[in-house]
Structure 1
Amino acid sequence: MNLTEHNFTKKRRDPLLTLDTYTELQENLEDFYQDEDFHQIKNAVSEELDRRSGISWMLALNRYENAILCYSGGLSIKEVNALTELALKNLEKHKHDFPDQKFLFWEPDSFQFLLWCLSFVALTGKTEYLSTITRMYGTSPEVSGEACMAQLFRLFNVHGIPDNTEEALVFPDSYQHLYNAIKTGPLEPSKKEREESVKTYLRGWYKGMKDCYWHNRHKARFPTFFGYWALEAAMITLLFDLDDTGYNHLPYYPKDWVAEARKQGFDKLILKANLSPIQVAFPETMCPMTGEWQSNLSSEVLSLKEGEIMPGPLQDENETSYFWVLQEA
C-alpha cells in the first residue's frame, strides 16, 4: 500500500521519522540484505575471514535496524514481532558461522546492542535465543565484572556472567537508573521504586545514549534514522510486571509493544521460574554441573562432569575471555 504523508503521520510511532526517510531507508536496508554479492562473499571461504565476518555482522545488524524502523513506522505488532524474530535468527546464524564474534560490554554500542537482544527476547517471548546471546557476551580477564549486565542476565536465569561486588557500572551516567530498577537482594527496591527508576531513566535516556552510533541520526543528511526506543525500559517493565501508567506517555517508551507482549503472555514466558537455567563457567574453575558445554568463541562442545576443571585457554589473541556455556543440564 502506498502511504501518503497524512496517513503515515497518523500511523507512525516515532514523531521524528518522516515518510521520505522511512521509505528510502526501508528500501536501502532491504536492497542490502537481498544483495546476492554480499551473501556470496560472506559464504566464500576464499575471501578474507575479517571481510566475511564483517559482512555477516552488517547483514545481522540490518535486520535489527529494519525491525525497529518498521515499529517506528507504524507496522502492526504482529508484523514487527515477525521481523524481530528474523533479526534474532540472523544473529544466531552470524554466531554459528563466525563463533569468535562477540560484544564487549565496555563498548557503548555493544552494551546497547546486548540490551536490544535481551529486549527482543522479552518483547517476543523467543527465549530460545538466550544461549546465543549469552555466548555473544564479551569480557576479558583484565576487566572486572559489570553489575548492570550481570544482573540482567541473572533475571533471564543466566548464571556466571562476571559481576562487580561494588555494584560498579561501566556507564553510570547512562544506566544508573536502569540498574536501580533491576536490583534484587536484601535491599531491593519496591515495585513503586522500580517504576520511579524507569520513569527517571526514560527522561534522561536520549541524552545518556550520546555515544551510540545512531544518536542524532534524525538530523542526518542521508536517510539512516530508524527511530529512538528505550527497548530496555519495556524489558524491565515486563520482567518485574511493573505498572507503566506513570511513564507510558513518555517519549522512547514502546507502550503498545509492551501491551501486546502482555496480551500474548510473553511476560510469563520470561519469568525466571519458567526459564531453563543457563550456566556459564570460566577456564581453570571447577565444572559446576555435568553436561554438554559449548565455547563462547568457537564451535567446540565438550562433555564435562561436575567437579572437573574447565579447560582453557583463558583468552584469545585479542584478550577476550574464553568461557563455556552449558547446553543441556
Structure 2
Amino acid sequence: MRDTVMNEKYFREYILEETGRIKNFQNKLENNEVREDRIYSVKRKIDAIQFELLIARYSSGEDIEKLENDFMQLLNDMPLYWNGNSGYIDMLWMMALAILFDVSREKFGILSDLVTQYNRKDALLEFFVNYKMHGSIEQLEGDYSFGFPYDKLTDIVANREKAVEKLKEYLEKYWYVGHKNMGWYDIHKAKEKLYYGYWSFEAGAIAKILNLDDSNLKDVPYYPYDLVHYKSNSM
C-alpha cells in the first residue's frame, strides 16, 4: 500500500467495481447498444475511468512496471479525448507522469503538440515541455492557468538550495487545500467508492527534473516517492 487514507480492502473493491464498469461499457459498445451520438461520450468515459484506475492501482501498491504499459495506452489516446476545453489537471498529470515514467521525447510530443494545437498557455506545462522536448531546465516563468497552489512552485525552481524544504512546505500546506474547488476534493469522505488517491505528480516531476535529494520527502503526504525514482533522467 502506498495510500494512507484508505485500506487494502477498499482499493481491492474499488478496482473490481471500476473494472466492471469498463467491461459493461465495452460490452454495450460491442453489442451496438449505445446510440451513435453517445458513442464518443461513452468511449471518453471509459478513458477517464481507466486513468482513475491507474492512479488507484498505484495507490494500492501495485508494481510500477505493471502500470507503465497502461499509462502508455492512455498517452497514445490523449489526442482522441483532450482538447483546449478539457481539464487542465488531466494534462498536468499526464505530463508529470510522462516525466516520471521517463517516456521518450517522441511520445511526450503527443502531449506537447496538443498544448500547442489548442494554444494552452501555462507556465508549468511550458516548463515540462521545455525540459522534455528541448532538454532545458529553465525558471518557471509566465502565467499559470490556475494560480494557487501551482504558483508556489515558482520559488521551488528558482531557489535550488531550499527546493526540498519548499517542496515539503508545498505538499504539507498548500497542495491539498489548493484543490478545494476540484471535484475530487474530500472525495474520500463519500459514501460511494469514488476515491482513487491523492497524489501531487507535478511535485514528483519537479523533484526529478531538478535531481533533488528527496529523502526527506519519502513519507510526506501526496508525494509519489517511488515514481520519482522509477527511472533515471533521460531525454
Q: Output the CA distance in 2 between the equivalents of 1:140 and 1:39.
A: 29
- Superposed, which structure 2 residues align to 1:9-28 within 5 Å? 12-28=1-17
Q: Output the CA distance in 1 between the equivalents of 2:118 and 2:100.
A: 30
- Superposed, which structure 2 residues align to 1:103-252 within 5 Å? 103-104=84-85, 110-127=87-104, 128-137=106-115, 145-157=121-133, 167-182=142-157, 189-203=158-172, 204-252=174-222
User: Which of the residues 216, 225, 228 maps onto 1:258?
Assistant: 228
Distance 1:41 1:243, change over 3 A: farther
Q: Output the CA distance in 2 between the equivalents of 1:119 and 1:239.
A: 10
Distance 1:32 1:135, change over 3 A: farther
How many Å apart are 1:136 and its aligned residue? 3.3
How many Å apart are 1:230 and its aligned residue? 0.7
Identity, in percent, stands at: 21
2:60 corresponds to: 73
How many Å apart are 1:17 and its aligned residue? 1.3
Cα root mean square deviation, aligned: 3.0
- 1:207-253 deviations in whole A, cap 9, x for unaligned? 11112222111101100111111111111111111111232331111
Q: Output the CA distance in 2 between the equivalents of 1:177 and 1:92.
A: 31
Q: Output the CA distance in 2 between the equivalents of 1:52 and 1:170.
A: 31
Tell me, yes or no, if the aligned pair for 1:65 and 1:226 is still in contact at 8 Å: yes
Distance 1:103 1:194, change over 3 A: farther
Tell me, yes or no, if the aligned pair for 1:69 and 1:227 is still in contact at 8 Å: yes
Tell me, yes or no, if the aligned pair for 2:217 and 2:225 is still in contact at 8 Å: no
Instruction: Give the partner amino acid of 1:47.
Output: E
Tell me, yes or no, if the aligned pair for 1:63 and 1:87 is still in contact at 8 Å: no
Tell me, yes or no, if the aligned pair for 2:2 and 2:60 is still in contact at 8 Å: yes
TM normalised by structure 2 equals 0.83
Q: Which has the larger radius of gyration?
A: 1
Unaligned runs of 5+ in 1: 1-11, 160-164, 183-188, 275-329
Q: Which has the higher contact order (CA 8 A, sep 6+)?
A: 2
2:48 corresponds to: 61
Instruction: Give the partner amino acid of 1:66.
Output: L
TM normalised by structure 1 equals 0.61
Paired residue secondary structure (2:227):
helix
Paired residue secondary structure (2:2):
coil
Q: What is the number of residues matched between the two proteins? A: 228
Paired residue secondary structure (1:222):
coil
Q: Output the CA distance in 2 between the equivalents of 1:126 and 1:224.
A: 29
Unaligned runs of 5+ in 2: none
Q: Which has the higher strand share?
A: 1
